[in-house]
């Protein structure tokens, strides 16, 4: 039994007519416009759904980093500023005469002070110390 | 992003699909113009109410345009579109059955429009529609793709993921049952 025997003209014609009225009523331009509008809307919704958690994750990361920095600063070792820095700043404001007075005072202090093996400058002779201070004098 | 090439009504489906993928909305409009009515006939033939056809056509095109990257050209774009329409119709039937707004069988019989037009459409068309609604989905879709859309078995098989021989068997079963119903 072949296809032509099975499908008589009436059934074929009926099948071709199925949905013809619905197809004729379809406004293709309006349908196309609606499809594009709905596609844009869905794309916008998809982006919003994606952006929301992304921004939340970014904000959470910023808070964590900032908190970590603050915490590290509060518990970390504070490095003392080098004392020579402050001495130099103080000496900058002195006149030549005043600097000579300071050096003379230092000479006397060094001559009167007992020698300390553990002092930081003990390896320097008084002359070397004077040379250091004179270099600070500029 | 607009395609620099002008879109013509004579452009192939493949060219329109490529233009759409490049962001040209005019290509999508042309594809709707080209295949919208055939899709509407397929959906109405598959049991969609006339009042729902426009929305189902829109939903089918939306799914197709969003998934067009998966279309490998194994069959014609229209055939691929019609199979998506079959899935959309199935989902709509499930929703209608779940929501129980209108029972599916009643929805299939429900016809909008002018009573005179309905009378002209004739009892035979109504009986064919009833018979189609009672067929298994595969038989119904193969019958519509073959008898209504005029597609070859090889094309139908490629779209539905089956063999041409199996599509032919589904079609013959559908015809036999429909003829029994019409008699």
**Residue pLDDT, tens place only, A4-16:** 554 567 888 888 8
Q: Which tokens is B129 given?
A: 């529609």
Q: Residue B144 has what pLDDT?
A: 94
Q: How many CA atoms lie within 13 A of B130 on its CB side?
A: 14
- φ and ψ at A28, to 5 degrees? -65, -40
Say if A4 is an interface residue toward chain B (CB within 8 Å): no
- Is pLDDT of A79 > 60? no
Interface test with chain B among A26, A27, A34, by most B beta carbons within 10 Å:
A26
> Which whole number is the average pLDDT over A57-86?
74
Q: Which residue ranges make up each domain of chain B?
A: 13-182
Q: Show residues of chain A in contact with B148, CB under 8 Å.
A: 15-16, 18-19
pLDDT given at position A88: 64
- Could you say which residues from 13 to 32 on chain B have a Cβ atom under 8 Å away from some Cβ of chain A? 25, 28-29, 32
Flag whether residue A5 sits within 8 Å of chain B, measured between CB atoms.
no
Distance between A79 CA and the closest CA of chain B, angstroms: 58
A78 pLDDT band (50/70/90 cuts)? low
Lowest mean pLDDT among A77-86, A104-113, B84-93: A77-86
pLDDT at B11: 87
Please give the model's pTM, rounded to 2 decimal places: 0.63
Check residue A9 and give its pLDDT: 75
- What pLDDT shows up at residue A8? 67
Determine, for residues A23 and B41 on separate chains, whether the beta-carbon distance falls below 8 Å. yes
The pLDDT assigned to B6 comes to 57
| A135 band by pLDDT with thresholds 50, 70 and 90 | confident
Instruction: Pick A64 or A1 by higher pLDDT.
Output: A64
Please give the pLDDT value at position A72.
83
Predicted confidence at residue B76, as pLDDT, reads: 93
What pLDDT is stored for residue A4 in this prediction?
53
| Predicted local distance difference test score (pLDDT) of residue B2 | 45
The CATH code that applies to domain B13-182 is 1.10.1740.10
CB B82 within 8 A of CB B57: no
Can you list the residues of chain B whose pLDDT is less than 50?
Answer: 1-4, 101-111, 120
> Which position has the higher pLDDT, A136 or A81?
A136
The pLDDT assigned to A2 comes to 54
């Amino acid at each position: 039994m072949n296809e032509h025997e099975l499908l008589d003209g009436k059934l074929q014609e009926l099948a071709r007519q199925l949905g013809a009225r619905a197809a004729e009523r379809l406004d293709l331009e309006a349908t196309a416009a609606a499809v594009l509008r709905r596609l844009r809307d869905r794309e916008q919704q998809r982006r919003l759904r994606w952006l929301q958690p992304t921004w939340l994750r970014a904000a959470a990361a910023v808070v964590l980093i900032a908190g970590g920095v603050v915490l590290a600063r509060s518990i970390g070792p504070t490095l003392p500023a080098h004392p020579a820095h402050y001495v130099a700043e103080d000496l900058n404001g002195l006149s030549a005469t005043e600097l000579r007075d300071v050096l003379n005072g230092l000479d006397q202090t060094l001559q009167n002070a007992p020698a300390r093996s553990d002092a930081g400058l003990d390896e320097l002779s008084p002359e070397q110390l004077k040379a250091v201070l004179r270099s600070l004098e500029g | 992003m607009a395609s620099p090439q002008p879109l013509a009504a004579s452009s192939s489906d493949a060219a329109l699909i490529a233009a759409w993928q490049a962001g040209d909305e005019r290509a999508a409009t042309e594809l709707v113009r080209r295949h919208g009515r055939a899709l509407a006939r397929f959906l109405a033939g598959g049991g969609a109410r006339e009042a729902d056809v426009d929305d189902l056509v829109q939903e089918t095109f939306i799914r197709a345009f969003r998934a067009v990257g998966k279309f490998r050209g194994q069959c014609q774009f229209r055939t691929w579109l019609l199979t998506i329409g079959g899935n959309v119709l199935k989902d709509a039937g499930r929703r209608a059955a779940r929501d129980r707004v209108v029972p599916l069988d009643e929805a299939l019989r429900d016809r909008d429009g002018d009573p005179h037009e309905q009378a002209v459409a004739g009892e035979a068309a109504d009986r064919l529609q009833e018979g189609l609604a009672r067929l298994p989905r595969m038989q119904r879709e193969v019958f519509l793709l073959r008898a209504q859309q005029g597609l070859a078995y090889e094309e139908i098989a490629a779209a539905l993921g089956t063999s041409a021989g199996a599509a032919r068997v589904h079609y013959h079963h559908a015809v036999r049952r429909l003829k029994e119903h019409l008699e």
